[in-house]
Amino acid sequence: MATTAPVPNPEADPRVKAVFDDIRTTRKTAFINNLWHALAFSPDLLASTWAEVKALMATPSHLDPLTKEMIYIAVSVANACSYCVHSHTAAARAKGMTDAQHAELLAIIALAARTNHLANGLQVPVDPAFDAAAVRGEA
Amino acid sequence: MATTAPVPNPEADPRVKAVFDDIRTTRKTAFINNLWHALAFSPDLLASTWAEVKALMATPSHLDPLTKEMIYIAVSVANACSYCVHSHTAAARAKGMTDAQHAELLAIIALAARTNHLANGLQVPVDPAFDAAAVRGEA
Amino acid sequence: MATTAPVPNPEADPRVKAVFDDIRTTRKTAFINNLWHALAFSPDLLASTWAEVKALMATPSHLDPLTKEMIYIAVSVANACSYCVHSHTAAARAKGMTDAQHAELLAIIALAARTNHLANGLQVPVDPAFDAAAVRGEA
Amino acid sequence: MATTAPVPNPEADPRVKAVFDDIRTTRKTAFINNLWHALAFSPDLLASTWAEVKALMATPSHLDPLTKEMIYIAVSVANACSYCVHSHTAAARAKGMTDAQHAELLAIIALAARTNHLANGLQVPVDPAFDAAAVRGEA
Amino acid sequence: MATTAPVPNPEADPRVKAVFDDIRTTRKTAFINNLWHALAFSPDLLASTWAEVKALMATPSHLDPLTKEMIYIAVSVANACSYCVHSHTAAARAKGMTDAQHAELLAIIALAARTNHLANGLQVPVDPAFDAAAVRGEA
Amino acid sequence: MATTAPVPNPEADPRVKAVFDDIRTTRKTAFINNLWHALAFSPDLLASTWAEVKALMATPSHLDPLTKEMIYIAVSVANACSYCVHSHTAAARAKGMTDAQHAELLAIIALAARTNHLANGLQVPVDPAFDAAAVRGEA
């Protein structure tokens, strides 16, 4: 069950086919996961979403691929996105995340949630030392 | 302004002093940021919070210190914790985060938020391939 | 599975029957969806919830019915309420939302999430020009 | 205070100047609000963010400009983004939102939050009738 | 700064005056806090909001007044509502919340956030034993 | 389906067995719910999580056991943690929560969500009277 009806033969639309082809080429797999199938109801939304995912997640950059997946998982957990937690945990494993790293990732996410709620509950004012213009900052 | 009244002389309590001393020793600084001052109203809560922060964030482990700070920032942004975003961005900079890495961190957090909301709006069912027991998974 | 046990014959309670009757009359359908069945375990909560839904969503007002459903969907996506995303997307379609409008709604929700996370990550101070007392404001 | 240091003379970078010029032209104003100034620390992030805001919010489409701003506000409130609530409320007013519409927008956001929390508290299963493939759906 | 302009003399409107009078009588104080002043821009929204706050928070019921305030604080922290955390912590103190209870409230909120994020990160399926129709359930 | 593969015989690890034994003893039941089974993939994370749950939720303190469960439910609903809402609602029922208390708990959670969104939408500034250092505060 989803909020859009499945598109019967999505690749009949050349814009959808172009994106799906690029996903398959970029990821070196024939597998197209459900998010892209669901987005096929709007080729524009499909194309703009994939363009940004490819640019940030499938292109060499200043952060290594596994770190990027772990950041993605952290946001997805905090936003309670069940689909994204599943898909990006699978992606992180495919990029080499070990059980020990997974456990530590979850522990840090949980710790951050804990102190986020403490700080929001205490309504602690931000230290001037944390201002980006200040010389040093520590937490 | 905060939801607890400031403790006038927190280190008069030996449990508070022990935690503050450990923070100073562990971080090699005399600076104690506001969160710890606010938590001093409950030495138990202060001690248990610091114990976990120290164990996860200030101890060598399976993830490098900067990666851990970036994960922490990601959760804090998604949970809208202004204090934690400030304090952990400062901490990440102190651990060497460059402007280019900071920009990429923010871009990935924003991308994850974008697809989190798309997936939650579409209510996409999770692909069986993402099951941890399955052989491969991709996102 | 739910957190309350189903009420065997909810309309045996005249307060529940009155609400269910009003739902059927207002919506011109015999269909009572699961949320109202679940709320029937507390006739008070059922009645106060329906009264507000009816007053805001089923009464002519300053916003047209489809706009109201799209606002409702936007909040429900951000709050990760699977049930409400499903029910209000169905309601929006019943009120005429096209696929093109649905795609654009999702795109704007995703864009807002993206800039929400950017602004919270950057901790940008609010421009004085946005003060409601100021003459003009732009974003 | 923000998490990035202000860029002293941002338009000295031609990529930043190009974006700022486009913002001024598109919006017919000399005013560049703080979010864009803060994003100037990364011309790439600035350019990609503005490109999407312009494409979705400043281009004629299937939804009228005021409806789009109200959807944006709804997401921003639910995500607790203080900056975005301020900036997009100002934008909505500039596009003609009346006090009566503003009050109704807030009332619907609050109602959605209320039923989001009820549905998540009750863990109500989704009605099969809400499946996008089903003929009719009501909420 | 707020998103609505302050109403110059709000009690000139008899509907606003009636609500403000009822707040003063119910709470036995001359103090009207900012939320009600801000809501005065829409007497309807003001009246419906106060009616529900009064019915649930200022009327004897199945939960004691302090427990109700602590539940309110818990939700407000998780939703990152700075205003509500401040106002309801003040209310809880006025109803007798001690420092030890406050510390424990924050500790439980933080613990719940921690396990919420763990469970969402692990995507643990719900045990059938937790079904409300089942005889026993434990967590 | 979960993001970690099930551990075939978790109690073969003496650290896991020690935690499971303590859960059974503390709760006076043979039932170990899914969260603990899932956490068994990391005995460290399992042990530290249980230690805190036991210390806060299964030890006499300044708040009664049912109040603590209701606070836990409130946070879990706001954080959209389906698993935790189910497990702690079951726990609250086991500790005596009546249907009337459950309905009132949900009503207060929903009311808090409603005013959280109103206050965040209005961006109401915090009253100085709510400062913890001030003599009195009311909401």
Instruction: Please tell me if the domain spanning A10-59 has the same topology as the one spanning A61-123.
Output: yes
Q: Is the pLDDT of residue C100 over 50?
A: yes
CATH T-level assignment (fold) for domain B62-122: AhpD-like (1.20.1290)
What are the residue ranges of helices labelled H in chain C?
Answer: 14-27, 34-39, 43-57, 65-78, 82-94, 99-122
The rounded distance, in Å, linking the Cα atoms of F135 and D98 is 39
Right CATH number for B10-59 from 1.10.3720.10, 3.10.20.340, 3.40.50.2000, 1.20.1290.10?
A: 1.20.1290.10
The answer to whether the CB atoms of C49 and D78 lie below 8 A apart is no
pLDDT in the model for residue D118: 98
> What 3-state class would DSSP assign to C107?
helix
> What 3-state class would DSSP assign to C124?
coil
* pLDDT interval class at E135 (50, 70, 90): very low
Q: Write out the DSSP string of F11-55.
A: GGSHHHHHHHHHHHHHHTSS---HHHHHHTTSHHHHHHHHHHHHH
- Tokens of residue E36, six digits: 């009600």
Cβ neighbours, 10 Å, residue D96: 11
Cβ neighbours, 10 Å, residue B9: 8
The answer to whether the CB atoms of C130 and E52 lie below 8 A apart is no
pLDDT in tens, C18-68: 999 999 999 999 999 999 999 999 999 999 999 999 999 999 999 999 999
The rounded distance, in Å, linking the Cα atoms of F95 and C54 is 36
Half-sphere exposure of E62 (CA within 13 A, CB side): 15
Per the model's pLDDT, the better-predicted residue between D135 and B112 turns out to be: B112
Q: Average per-residue pLDDT in chain D?
A: 95
Residues of E in contact with A113 (CB under 8 A): 110, 113-114, 116-117
pLDDT in the model for residue E62: 97
Phi first, then psi: give them for residue B135, nearest 5 degrees: -70, -50
Looking at domain E11-59, its CATH superfamily turns out to be AhpD-like (1.20.1290.10)
Task: Judge contact between B53 and B87, C-beta under 8 A.
Answer: no
Q: Output the tens digit of pLDDT for each of chain A's 139 residues.
A: 899 999 999 999 999 999 999 999 999 999 999 999 999 999 999 999 999 999 999 999 999 999 999 999 999 999 999 999 999 999 999 999 999 999 999 999 999 999 999 999 999 999 999 988 764 333 3
The rounded distance, in Å, linking the Cα atoms of E57 and A115 is 28
B80 to chain E nearest CA, in Å?
A: 6
pLDDT in tens, E78-129: 999 999 999 999 999 999 999 999 999 999 999 999 999 999 999 999 999 9
- Tokens of residue A104, six digits: 């530590």
ipTM: 0.95
Residues of A in contact with E105 (CB under 8 A): 121
C76 to chain D nearest CA, in Å?
A: 6
Lowest average pLDDT, out of C76-85, C128-137, E77-86, goes to C128-137
Q: Is the pLDDT of residue B139 over 70?
A: no
- Tokens of residue D104, six digits: 């109704």
Measured over the CA atoms of residue B33, residue B39, residue B45 and residue B47, the dihedral's sign is: positive
The answer to whether the CB atoms of B78 and A83 lie below 8 A apart is no
Report which DSSP code applies to E138: -
Right CATH number for A61-123 from 3.55.10.10, 3.40.1030.10, 1.20.1260.10, 1.20.1290.10?
A: 1.20.1290.10
Measured over the CA atoms of residue A85, residue A88, residue A90 and residue A93, the dihedral's sign is: negative
Q: Which CATH architecture has domain C7-59?
A: Up-down Bundle (1.20)
The reply to whether the predicted model has a pTM over 0.90 is yes
C96 CA to centre of own chain: 16
E127 contact partners, CB below 8 Å, separation of at least 6: E137, F33, F34, F86, F87
Rounded average pLDDT over B91-112: 98
Task: Judge contact between F18 and F12, C-beta under 8 A.
Answer: no
Task: Judge contact between B85 and B73, C-beta under 8 A.
Answer: yes
> What 3-state class would DSSP assign to A1?
coil
Q: Is the pLDDT of residue D36 over 50?
A: yes
The rounded distance, in Å, linking the Cα atoms of A95 and A66 is 6
The answer to whether the CB atoms of D3 and B99 lie below 8 A apart is no
Best CA proximity match to A3, nearest among E121, C76, F7: C76
Q: Write out the DSSP string of chain D.
A: --SSPPPSSGGGSHHHHHHHHHHHHHHTSS---HHHHHHTTSHHHHHHHHHHHHHHHSS--SS-HHHHHHHHHHHHHHTT-HHHHHHHHHHHHHTT--HHHHHHHHHHHHHHHHHHHHHHHHTPPPPGGGSTTSS----
The answer to whether the CB atoms of E106 and B48 lie below 8 A apart is no
Residue of E nearest to C78 (CA): E79
Task: Judge contact between A112 and A77, C-beta under 8 A.
Answer: no
A69 to A55, A94, B61: CA distances (angstroms): 14, 10, 18
- The helix (H) or strand (E) run that includes residue B114 is helix B99-122
The rounded distance, in Å, linking the Cα atoms of A111 and B59 is 14
Right CATH number for C62-124 from 3.40.50.300, 1.20.1290.10, 1.25.40.20, 1.20.1730.10?
A: 1.20.1290.10
Task: Judge contact between A85 and E120, C-beta under 8 A.
Answer: yes
The answer to whether the CB atoms of B80 and E80 lie below 8 A apart is yes
> What 3-state class would DSSP assign to B83?
helix
The answer to whether the CB atoms of A5 and D130 lie below 8 A apart is no
Best CA proximity match to D23, nearest among D98, D91, D93: D91
pLDDT in tens, D55-106: 999 999 999 999 999 999 999 999 999 999 999 999 999 999 999 999 999 9
* pLDDT interval class at E133 (50, 70, 90): confident
- The helix (H) or strand (E) run that includes residue E54 is helix E43-57
The rounded distance, in Å, linking the Cα atoms of F113 and F97 is 22
Cβ neighbours, 10 Å, residue A30: 8
Report which DSSP code applies to F63: S
pLDDT in the model for residue B93: 97
pLDDT < 70 positions in chain F: 134-139
Domain boundaries, chain B: 10-59, 62-122
Residues of B in contact with D79 (CB under 8 A): 80
Question: Which of C102, C109, C115 has the most A C-beta neighbours within 10 Å, making it the best mutation to test the interface with A?
Answer: C102
Best CA proximity match to C15, nearest among C44, C54, C38: C44
Task: Judge contact between A70 and B67, C-beta under 8 A.
Answer: yes
D80 to C119, D118, F113: CA distances (angstroms): 11, 19, 12
CATH number of the domain at E61-124, please?
A: 1.20.1290.10
D130 contact partners, CB below 8 Å, separation of at least 6: A1, C33, C86, C87, C89, C90, D137, D139
How many residues in chain E? Answer: 139
Residues of E in contact with F113 (CB under 8 A): 75, 79
